[in-house]
């Protein structure tokens, strides 16, 4: 026996003169053996440097790995820096942690149509956000539990919020004070990537390909009800919810001649809205007098400093918790619709 081989359950059994089954029971089912023997086993285990049953072997034998994979639509770099995704993940992690499971993080990179082999040992998959490639979904073990978040996969449970209703609500609130020139800043709405003004030439992604399409519907419905011709409402598109990508588009908007510059901007994320706030202040615009701004998500950062953001709060942490509970079988595997909350603050009172 090679000296550097790690100690196994079998070594322990030989050393103690008991069967491997008993050792296994000592670690997994204390009621199956006498306390005295169990003590002896645990003691010898420590002495021999045996750290408990090998996780790889156990997972093969039992068929379960106690690992749950979260597949993020965006790159890890982006997702980890996005407040909403981070909150979601921490909700997932909280539940998993409490049940002795661990979190495997994957991002769906456009370039690859398969998850890495190692990920397929996960006991379940949480797919967060719309995955670029359907092939990737098909590469997942077909009988593993799977829950989608913020989009639908036929026949699978999903966790989401009513984006249309929430956006209708916030826009309706905003429009109680009439706006001369309302505008909308969208997130990933056009069929081809675009950062800037959306003209009538641009095709939009179909509703099943982007969550923001239903946000737009909500905005439009409220605008229509307020007697605004939605065709006349200017729209801009932003591809990635980061400061760097938002900033140039927002410059373009705020640097319009005053007669064309919107006095109300409905934004599809708090990140966008906050960037608008910052850049508007730099230009000496008064909020909300010169420009009213609404966001979406309800991230903490939006409430730190004045003007606090008027926005729709969605509970991303809870979303994560629910997704995790469904995957672990602690909650029924059925669609779950979370409530949203209108948060009315300084940026659009």
Partner DNA sequence: TCTGCTAACTTAATCGTTCCAGACCCCATC
Partner DNA sequence: GATGGGGTCTGGAACGATTAAGTTAGCAGA
For residue 128, which of 331, 324, 272 has the smallest C-alpha distance?
324
- Among its own copies, DNA, none, what does residue 285 contact (CB within 5–8 Å per kind)? none
Least separation in angstroms between residue 204's CB and its own copies is: 30
Q: How many residues bind DNA (CB under 7 A)?
A: 31
Binding-site partner at residue 250 among DNA, its own copies, none, CB < 5 to 8 Å by type: none
- Token pair 């929430």 is at which residue? 166
> Is residue 259 at the binding interface for DNA, with CB under 7 A as the rule?
no
**Binding residue for DNA (CB under 7 A) from 47, 61, 109, 286?**
61
Two tokens, residue 119: 């990920």
Span near DNA by CB under 7 A; candidates 24-32, 130-138, 148-156, 249-257: 24-32
Q: Which is nearer to its own copies, 151 or 243 (CB)?
A: 243
| Binding interface with its own copies (CB under 8 A) | 4, 6, 49, 51-60, 63, 65-67, 69, 75-77, 80-81, 83, 86-87, 89-90, 93-94, 97, 100-107, 109, 116-121, 139, 141-143, 243-244, 278, 282, 300-301, 304-306, 317
Q: Which two tokens stand for residue 251?
A: 């410059």
Stated length of the chain = 349
Concatenating the DSSP letter of every residue in 82-94 gives -HHHHHHHHHHHH
Residue 251 binding partner per list DNA, its own copies, none, with a CB distance cut-off of 5 to 8 Å that depends on partner kind: none
**Position of tokens 């495997």?**
104
Q: Which residues pair with 129 in a beta bridge?
A: none
> CA nearest 246: which of 263, 270, 214, 281?
270
- Closest approach, Cβ 308 to its own copies, in A, equals 12
- Considering only residues 15, 33, 113, 342, which one is a binding residue for DNA as defined by CB under 7 A? 33
**Is residue 10 close enough to count as binding DNA by CB under 7 A?**
yes
Residue 4 engages DNA in binding (rule: CB under 7 A): no
Shorter beta-carbon distance to DNA: residue 116 or 332: 116
Which pair of structure tokens corresponds to residue 349?
């009172």
Query: Are the C-beta atoms of 117 and 141 separated by less than 8 Å?
Result: no
What are phi and psi for residue 168, nearest 5 degrees? -60, -45
Q: Report the residue number, 117 or 155, with the smaller CB distance to DNA.
A: 117
List the interface residues with DNA, window 79-138 (CB under 7 A).
none
Q: Check if the beta carbon of residue 16 is closer than 8 Å to that of residue 44.
A: yes
Strand partners, 312: 342
Residue 316 interacting with DNA (CB under 7 A): no
Residue 24, contacted partner among DNA, its own copies, none, CB below 5-8 A by kind: DNA
Q: Is 42 in the site for DNA (CB under 7 A)?
A: no
Gyration radius of the chain's alpha carbons: 26
Q: Which stretch binds DNA (CB under 7 A): 27-35, 199-207, 268-276, 297-305?
A: 27-35
Q: Does 63 bind DNA (CB under 7 A)?
A: yes
337 binds DNA (CB under 7 A): no
**Closest distance of CB 331 from its own copies, Å:** 20
Phi, psi of 47 (to 5 degrees): -60, -40
Provide the strand spans (E) within the chain.
67-72, 102-107, 124-128, 146-149, 158-161, 182-187, 196-198, 235-238, 264-267, 292-294, 311-314, 336-338, 340-343
CA distance readout (Å), 62 to 29, 51, 122, 140, 206: 15, 19, 13, 19, 43
Which residues is 185 bridged to in the sheet?
A: 236, 267
Closer of 32 and 282 to DNA (Cβ): 32
To DNA, the closest distance from the beta carbon of 240 in angstroms equals 38
Binding-site ranges for DNA (CB under 7 A): 5-6, 8-10, 17-22, 24-25, 27-28, 32-34, 36-37, 50, 52-54, 56-58, 60-63
């Amino acid at each position: 026996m090679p000296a550097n081989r790690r100690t196994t359950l079998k070594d322990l059994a030989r050393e103690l003169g008991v069967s491997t089954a008993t050792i296994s029971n000592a670690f997994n089912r204390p009621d199956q053996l006498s306390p005295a023997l169990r003590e002896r086993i645990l003691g010898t285990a420590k002495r021999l440097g045996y750290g408990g049953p090998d996780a790889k072997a156990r997972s093969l034998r039992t068929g379960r790995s106690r690992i749950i994979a979260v597949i993020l639509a965006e790159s890890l770099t982006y997702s980890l820096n996005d407040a909403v995704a981070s909150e979601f993940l921490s909700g997932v992690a909280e539940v998993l942690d409490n049940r002795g499971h661990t979190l495997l993080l994957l991002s769906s990179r456009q370039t690859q149509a398969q998850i890495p082999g190692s990920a397929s040992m996960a006991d379940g998959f949480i797919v967060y956000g719309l995955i670029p490639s359907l092939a990737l979904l098909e590469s997942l073990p077909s009988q593993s539990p799977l829950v989608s978040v913020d989009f639908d996969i036929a026949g699978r449970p999903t966790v989401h919020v009513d984006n249309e209703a929430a956006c209708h609500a916030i826009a309706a609130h905003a429009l109680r004070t009439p706006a001369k020139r309302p505008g909308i800043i969208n997130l990933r709405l056009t069929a081809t990537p675009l950062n800037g003004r959306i003209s009538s030439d641009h095709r939009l992604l179909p509703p099943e390909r982007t969550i923001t399409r239903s946000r737009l519907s909500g905005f439009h419905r409220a605008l229509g009800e307020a007697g605004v011709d939605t065709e006349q409402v200017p729209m801009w598109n932003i591809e990635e919810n980061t400061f760097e990508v938002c900033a140039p588009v927002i410059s373009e908007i705020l640097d319009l001649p005053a007669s064309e510059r919107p006095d109300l901007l409905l934004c599809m994320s708090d990140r966008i809205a906050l960037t608008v706030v910052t850049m508007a202040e730099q230009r000496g615009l008064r909020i909300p007098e010169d420009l009213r701004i609404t966001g979406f998500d309800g991230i903490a950062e939006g409430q730190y400093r004045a003007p606090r953001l008027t926005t729709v709060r969605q509970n991303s942490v809870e979303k994560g918790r629910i997704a995790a509970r469904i995957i672990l079988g602690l909650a029924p595997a059925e669609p779950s619709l979370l409530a949203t909350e209108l948060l009315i603050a300084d940026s659009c009172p």
